[in-house]
Amino acid sequence: MNHYPHHIGDFNSATRHLTFVERALYRELLDLYYDTERPLLADATKLARRVLAHTDEQREALQAVLQEFFVQEDDGWHNARCDREIAAYRERIEQQSRAGRASAEKRAQRMPGDGDGVGTVGAGARKAPNKQATDVARPFNDRSTNQNQNQNQLIPPNPPAGGADAVDAAPGRAGGRVGQAGQGAGIEAAGIASRLCAFFPDQRRTRLPEVAQLIASLEADGTVKAEQLLQAAAQQADRLGMEGGKACPSVLRWLREQRWMDVAADAGQAGSVPDNWRETRSGIEAMGVRLGLGPWDQDKDKLLASYERRVVEAYEASLGLGVPA
């Protein structure tokens, strides 16, 4: 995609709380996303170079924008709105391509053939080529004179809020795929997926078909029951929605990393720290509370990674004092 309209009002309302540098970087990321038609690079160093983030301040701002408007998946940083618009753009291109091929085949079928059939048509056969030429010429003439109009019809709008409304289309996609499978368990999993997403911020409700499939798989092998997932998400809802969900994982990642096993926030206050505390955000915060650092506060540590470093340093420094792991 080499062009997309920029809706100034929508962009301003969604980014008014950002700094000047963060707003500029967000535009750079959107341009890069649409230009490559693929998720942003997961490699922080390479991505920073692509968007000209050279200073420490700019790289820190880049991470803040990624955490707020994008979701990190296995293949890079996703923006649900961008993914949807790019898919719609490609579908329009494919539809036009199919229509063009069908039109060409239809014209070829109408062309006069060889042999006695041409001779028996007489004058009508001589007129047919002229009509065909006229039919062929008209689309090219139209395309030439209305090129800008046609181009604008193919260009999707700019996502105003970084894909925050991704869930609007996702349930339909999930439902369609499960319906085609024709399996009651799959349909039930799609319903559970939709209910589970209600506990997550809008921009984290991505890839619902895969979420539904993973829920069905987890239930089938006895790893966890759907009701347990819903109960765990309900208990973590406040934490998942903190700061607009900036540090919240996507629903799919939450399932893959078995985040339903995270300790609740009050467990950290009570002093309970899991053995694998470094593997989850709640575990890191529980250890931070144990060490007297308190839970993650974005005013003190803009990024969760900065808070985690402080907790690890405090933990390593306290090993000689008998603080439990």
71-98 residue pLDDT tens: 999 899 998 888 888 888 888 888 888 8
Which tops the pLDDT comparison, 126 or 54? 54
- Residue where a domain terminates, one of 145, 164, 183: 164
Give the C-alpha separation, 167 to 196, whole Å.
12
Share above pLDDT 70 across residues of the chain, in percent, rounded to a whole number = 70
> Does 149 lie in the same domain as 33?
yes
> Does 296 lie in the same domain as 315?
yes
> Does 177 lie in the same domain as 51?
no
Res 100: pLDDT: 81
> Does 252 lie in the same domain as 295?
no
> Does 146 lie in the same domain as 11?
yes
> Does 175 lie in the same domain as 147?
no
Give the C-alpha separation, 31 to 72, whole Å.
18
> Does 202 lie in the same domain as 152?
no
> Does 99 lie in the same domain as 139?
yes
- Residue where a domain terminates, one of 138, 164, 190: 164
Stretch (H or E) spanning 72: strand 71-73
What are the residues whose beta carbons fall under 8 Å from the beta carbon of 268, sequence distance 6 or more?
A: 282, 285, 286, 287, 288, 289, 290, 295
pLDDT tens for residues 153-199?
Answer: 444 444 444 443 333 333 333 333 434 444 556 678 888 888 998 88
Res 117: pLDDT: 45
> Does 197 lie in the same domain as 64?
no
pLDDT tens for residues 190-247?
Answer: 888 889 988 888 888 888 888 888 998 888 888 888 888 888 888 888 888 877 777 7
pLDDT at 265 over 70: no
Whether the CA torsion 77, 81, 84, 88 is positive or negative: it is negative
Give the C-alpha separation, 166 to 146, whole Å.
33
Cα torsion at 257, 251, 283, 307 (round to 10°)? 110
Which tops the pLDDT comparison, 293 or 51? 51
Give the C-alpha separation, 195 to 188, whole Å.
11
Domain of 148, in residue numbers: 1-164
Number of domains in the chain: 3
> Does 173 lie in the same domain as 39?
no
pLDDT tens for residues 121-148?
Answer: 444 444 444 444 444 444 444 444 444 4
> Does 182 lie in the same domain as 152?
no
Q: Yes or no: say if 251 and 204 are a contact pair by the CB < 8 Å rule.
A: yes
Res 184: pLDDT: 58
- Residue where a domain terminates, one of 164, 180, 203: 164
Res 45: pLDDT: 92
pLDDT at 255 over 80: yes
> Does 9 lie in the same domain as 116?
yes
Round the average pLDDT of the chain to a whole number and report it.
74
